[in-house]
């Protein structure tokens, strides 16, 4: 392999890339969102400056992705915290649990998504939409929502899915320090809402040392949504460099 060929690599192994070099297009990407109020002091300990917490709201999401360019079929779950950055409202992406190695690798390397391995599911049980998350052999989250009770305004559904996301991007250096430590921002703009509903929702979280979703306790569920979309992810852009601050 010539030097110029090495410089064109986007990931390793050199003979079988960990993920496809694609701009990821999602067809029939399905969301179950549970919005809930939690302990504001816990949020302030977790949310990094220069983000600020103005309302102690967390979104627990399960995303079912049956048809993704380059990545195939997989499911994710995670927690996002309502924040502001320089007057702009958005969400801080705290953690994501994913059942696909290529999706984990590409999300962490190509962008800044805080992904680790987990086993989420999303399915319909009689008249209820159910989302679960297992870490290893243990259940750490169960979300339920009435199935398609009330149509949700497509504009509201779009606002939920297209809220700006903030994440921490780190790349370690060879000496054990950090080569990159940035706050990054991304926002979905290429999106089609195919259906959207709201209904009563509930969320139960279970304590776990390595999947600490329950550290953000559910004080009050304030909303739930079930949204089906087609969308393309947008690149992340740095907005704050912690190494030069």
Q: What is the mean pLDDT of residues 226-239?
A: 96
Q: Which residues are catalytic?
A: 115
Q: What is the mean pLDDT of residues 165-189?
A: 97
What is the pLDDT at residue 21? Answer: 84
Record the tokens describing residue 119, joined without a space: 């086993």
| pLDDT tens-digit series, residues 136-173 | 999 999 999 999 999 999 999 999 999 999 999 999 99
Q: Report pTM.
A: 0.96
**Could you tell me the sign of the dihedral formed by the alpha carbons of 205, 197, 113, 167, in that order?**
negative
| pLDDT tens-digit series, residues 82-95 | 999 999 999 999 99
Look over the chain and give the mean of its residue pLDDT values, rounded to a whole number. Answer: 97
Alpha-carbon distance of 222 to 230, in angstroms, equals 26
Q: What are the start-end ranges of the H helices in the chain?
A: 3-7, 40-46, 101-109, 154-161
- Taking every pair of Cα atoms in the chain, the longest distance, rounded to a whole number of angstroms, is 60
Phi-psi region of 148 (alpha: psi -120 to 50; beta: other; left: phi over 0): left
| Structural contact between residues 78 and 95, judged by C-beta atoms closer than 8 angstroms | yes
Is the pLDDT assigned to residue 10 strictly greater than 90? Answer: no
């Amino acid at each position: 392999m010539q030097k110029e060929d090495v410089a064109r690599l986007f990931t390793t192994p050199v003979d079988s890339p960990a993920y496809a070099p694609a701009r990821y297009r999602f067809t029939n990407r399905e969301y179950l969102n549970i919005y809930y109020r939690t302990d504001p002091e816990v949020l302030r300990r977790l949310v990094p400056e220069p983000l600020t917490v103005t309302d102690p709201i967390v979104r627990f999401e399960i995303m079912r992705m049956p048809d993704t360019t380059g990545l195939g079929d997989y499911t994710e779950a995670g927690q996002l915290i309502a924040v502001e950055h320089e007057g702009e409202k958005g969400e801080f992406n705290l953690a994501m649990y994913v059942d696909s190695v290529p999706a984990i690798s590409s999300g962490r390397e190509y962008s800044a998504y805080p992904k680790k391995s987990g086993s989420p599911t999303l399915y319909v049980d009689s008249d209820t939409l159910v989302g679960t998350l297992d870490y290893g052999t243990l259940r750490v989250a169960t979300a339920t929502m009435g199935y398609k009770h009330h149509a949700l305004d497509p504009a509201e559904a779009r606002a939920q899915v297209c809220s700006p996301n903030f994440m921490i991007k780190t790349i370690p250096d060879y000496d054990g320090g950090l080569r990159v430590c940035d706050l990054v921002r991304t926002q979905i703009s290429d999106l089609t809402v195919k259906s959207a509903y709201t209904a009563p929702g509930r969320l139960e979280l279970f304590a776990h040392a390595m999947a600490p979703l329950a550290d953000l306790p559910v004080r009050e569920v304030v909303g739930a949504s079930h949204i089906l979309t087609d969308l393309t992810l947008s690149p992340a852009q740095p907005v704050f460099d912690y190494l030069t601050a």
